[in-house]
Every structure is written in C-alpha cells, then in structure tokens.
C-alpha cells in the first residue's frame, strides 16, 4: 500500500531561521511527488513536482529535493507569510494522489 509520512507534524521558526521539512514515501512505481501549501480555510496550492531521485525545484525561499525514499522542502530565511501547512503527495500506478498528513509551519517575526 502506498504511504506518505511527513515530519515534523509542526515546526516553529523565527523569521530568517532556515529549516527543512521531510516527506518519506513508500510507493510502487512512483510517477511523481508533489508539494502543496495550504493556508487556513483555503484549498491546497500547488508548489512543485519532482519525478526522480536527484531532481531539485526552487521557488523564492523554497527548494524541493528528492531521493528514492524521501523528499525535502528546504525553507531558506523564512518570513511570517510562509506560515502554512505544507503537504506532500505521491502519484503511483493508478494515478490517484496519496497525501501525507502535512507539516504545520509557523514563522514568527
């Protein structure tokens, strides 16, 4: 069964304090790994797609990387507006997305 585990469950950072979020996955036939951001009361917002080990994607203060077993979302010098829940999802054979429980990030100024 396809599984996605995200850690930590919650993370508190000071503004400017860089850190990483982890997404461990077990899937047969990975077709893609996806990162989303979800603000309270909103639907998830797509951030990145990663397809194979070694691939990296960047957007502003965010950088996503992937190995054969896990993906990381690196946040460099975060700002309060980066506070949100970050969700990781995998797409395997059958094509449906399997989401992790998410990491709640809070950045304090």
58-64: Cβ within 8 A, 24+ apart: 64/35
Window 42-61: residues binding another protein (CB under 8 A) = 42-46, 49
Taking only Cα atoms into account, the Rg of the chain, rounded to an integer number of angstroms, comes to 13
Asked if 84 is part of the footprint of another protein (rule: CB under 8 A), the reply reads no
The Cα-based distances of 71 to 4, 35, 68, 109 in angstroms read: 10, 9, 8, 27
78 binds another protein (CB under 8 A): no
> By CB under 8 A, what part of segment 6-45 binds another protein?
31-32, 34, 41-45
Q: How far is the CB of 47 from another protein (least distance, A)?
A: 10
Residues near another protein (CB under 8 A) are 31-32, 34, 41-46, 49, 87, 89, 91, 94-102
């Amino acid at each position: 069964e396809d599984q996605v585990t995200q850690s930590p469950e919650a993370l508190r950072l000071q503004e400017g304090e860089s850190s990483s979020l982890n997404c461990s996955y077990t899937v047969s036939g990975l077709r893609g790994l996806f990162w989303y951001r979800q603000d309270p009361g909103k639907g998830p917002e797509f951030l990145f797609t990663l397809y194979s080990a070694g691939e990296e994607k960047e957007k502003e203060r965010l950088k996503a990387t992937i190995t054969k077993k896990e993906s990381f979302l690196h946040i460099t010098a975060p700002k309060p507006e980066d506070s949100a829940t970050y969700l990781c999802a995998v797409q395997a054979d059958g094509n449906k997305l399997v989401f992790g429980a998410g990491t709640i990030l809070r950045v304090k100024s």
